[in-house]
Amino acid sequence: MYNARLHTVSDKLTKAEKKIADYLEDYTKEGQIMTSYELAKQLNIGQSTIIRFSKKLGYNSFRDLQVDLVHTPTASAIEDIAINESTHATNFKITKQYQEIIDLTYAQNNDAIIEETIRRIKGANRILIHGIGNSNLFAQYFANQLTTIGVVTFTSGNNHVIYSAISCYTPEDLVILISESGETPEILQAAKIAQNHLVPVISMTRAVKNKLYDYSDIILRTVNRMSRTRLETMTMRCSQLCLIDMIYLNLFKTDYERFLNALDNSRTICATKDK
* pLDDT (tens digit per residue) in 59-69: 888 888 877 77
Burial class (CB in 10 A: 0-12, 13-18, 19+), 116: middle
Distance (Å, whole) CA 148 – CA 150: 6
Res 273: pLDDT: 60
Exposure on the CB side of residue 239, measured as CA atoms within 13 A? 29
> Strand, helix or coil at 222?
strand
- Evaluate if pTM is beyond 0.85: no
Predicted pLDDT at 139: 96
Going across the sheet that includes 127-131, the strands are 153-154, 127-131, 174-179, 201-206, 218-222
Confidence class of residue 231 from pLDDT cuts 50, 70 and 90? Answer: low
The pLDDT confidence band at residue 76, using thresholds 50, 70 and 90, is very low
Run of H or E residues at 177: strand 174-179
Q: By CB neighbour count within 10 A (0-12 exposed, 13-18 middle, 19+ buried), where does 170 fall? A: exposed
Give whole-number Cα distances, 112 to 19, 134, 206, in Å. Answer: 34, 28, 18
φ/ψ (deg, to 5) at 179: -155, 120
pLDDT of residue 113: 96
pLDDT at 73: 55
- What pLDDT is attached to residue 226? 63
pLDDT on residue 147: 95
Q: What is the mean pLDDT of the chain?
A: 87
pLDDT attached to residue 27: 64
Q: How many Cα atoms within 13 Å fall on the side-chain side of residue 254?
A: 17
pLDDT of residue 77: 52
Q: How many residues does the chain have?
A: 275
Instruction: For residues 204-226, give the mean pLDDT.
Output: 89
Averaged pLDDT for residues 109-131 = 97
Output the CA torsion 129→215→6→245 (10° steps).
-20
Determine the Cα–Cα distance for residues 222 and 107; give it in Å rounded to an integer.
Answer: 10
Closest by CA position to 128, among listed 35, 197, 81, 71: 197
pLDDT digit string (tens) for 238-252? 899 999 999 999 999
Q: How far is CA 236 from CA 207, 221, 223, 239, in A?
A: 11, 11, 6, 5
- Residue in 211, 240, 225 with CA at minimum distance from that of residue 134: 240
Q: Which domains does the chain have, with CATH numbers?
A: 2-71 (1.10.10.10), 107-274 (3.40.50.10490)
Among 69-83, 161-175, 238-252, whose mean pLDDT is lowest?
69-83
- For position 99, what pLDDT does the model report? 85
Residue 13 has pLDDT above 70, yes or no: yes
Over range 84-94, report the average pLDDT.
Answer: 90
* Interatomic CA distance for residues 166 and 187, integer angstroms: 12
